[in-house]
Chains A and B, each alone.
Chain A
Amino acid sequence: MHADKTNRSLLIFLAILLTAAGALGLITGFGVFGSDLQHRPLTRNRVGAFIGRDGDWLWPVVAVVVLLIALLALRWLLLILTSTDRSGDLRIRSDSSSGIRGKTTLSSSAVTAALSSEIESYRGVHSANARLIGNPDDPTLAVDVTLQQSANLAGVRRRVETEAFTHVRQAIGSPELPIRLDLGVSTKRPARTV
């Protein structure tokens, strides 16, 4: 899902790195590691001496490591830009007792469009939108329903849960299909009848 967990982990790592680098530089400048180091130029230390002494072989190695890091960063960028949480088409389990072999897939858009249409046909529903998310073998149905302000909120919810969700579970042959229903209320005021 757009590498959200990776994004957060790496941004936390970056935040710790920046804070630690800043704190280390600041306390060095204040002489915590001795006044000798405090008065030395930034590159006159063990690391600087090592780079100066072994630069001949060190820089090509650094370039190779940086190339690997840049490739990983490119993969990360592509994940952010292209990945999706949608699960794709559904694989329907075949009935082994029937003796018929084959693979059946059900278009997820067909399932979600049928469900959305059914829910939108209910009185009190302003709009509905459904999508299958997660692992294609064990998907979750995510449904967003916007209710009209004048709707019987509890009644419509109960109808969506007991009718529309029962129908979709029957249609795809998965009575245990996990469903996440997000209910909203339309900001449009109902027209007044005079």
Chain B
Amino acid sequence: MKHANRVLAALLSLAIIVVGGLLIIEVVADRINHRPALVHWHHAYEWLGRTEWLAGSVRVTCVLLILVGLVLLAAELKPPRVSRLRVSGSIPNTDTAYTRRGVATAVQSAVADVDGIRDTSISVSRRKVRLAATAGAADNGAAQQLREPVVEAAQQRLDALQLESAPSLSATIKPRRS
């Protein structure tokens, strides 16, 4: 979210600078020439002067404002996704953690070493590691036989990471599509 915020903030600040600059130019031009300089704002002013509050265009604009505002508010207030999982037993003044991607790669590599596993995908959250593996076998029975070694390999690797709050493991093994 930080990167998206930086882009949004840069665009917003740029918009404030441009609109502010235009407003100052128009005020000065109106004082000197009594004429618009760059923006023909008289048309907009006349439109505002004849459009009522119950007009459809006003309602649509208001609904759009509410939607944009609520989406932005929800995005800003949403708690950030956990990016690092702390390890236990670090030395003093040292904050050690595995990155979320690091945990996923570690588990994925352990599962990939299990014979008969063709492909794996891992998603890691603070509390749960979800593992989806595809067996080389097209038969579901044969694929399910790999469940135990897969879970064991993944759990062993998770234990080896020595995470402070170890996430639980859930595994799904699917047969290869024939």
Partner of A26, one of B66, B98, B109: B66
Kindly list chain A residues whose C-beta atoms are within 8 Å of the C-beta of B45: 43
* Contacting pair A63 B91 (CB below 8 A): no
Report the separation of the CA atoms of residues A175 and B63 in the bound assembly, to the nearest whole angstrom.
58
The smallest C-beta distance from A108 to any residue of chain B, in angstroms, reads: 18
- Name the CB-closest residue of B to A175: B93
Number of interface residues of A (CB under 8 A): 69
Listed stretches A67-75, A90-98, A109-117, A127-135; interface member: A67-75
Residue A4, interface by CB 8 Å: yes
B154 to chain A, nearest CB (A): 14
Dominant secondary structure at the B interface: helix
Judged by a CB distance under 8 angstroms, whether B21 is at the interface is yes
* Interface presence of A49 (CB below 8 A): no
Q: How far is the CB of A46 from chain B (nearest CB, A)?
A: 14
Contact of B87 among A22, A70, A157, A186 (CB under 8 A): A157
CB A58 to nearest CB in B, in angstroms, measures 10
- Across-interface contacts of A15 in B (CB, < 8 A): 68-70, 72-73, 76
**Contact flag A42-B12 (CB < 8 Å), given A63-B23, A153-B161:** no
Binds A, one of B47-55, B127-135, B145-153, B166-174: B47-55
How far apart are the CA atoms of A153 and B63 in the complex, in Å? 53
Contact of A180 among B95, B112, B161 (CB under 8 A): B95
Residues of A within 8 A of B (CB): 2-4, 6-8, 10-12, 14-23, 25-26, 28-31, 37-44, 59-60, 62-63, 66-67, 69-70, 73-74, 76-77, 80-81, 146-147, 149, 153-154, 157, 161-162, 165, 176-187, 189
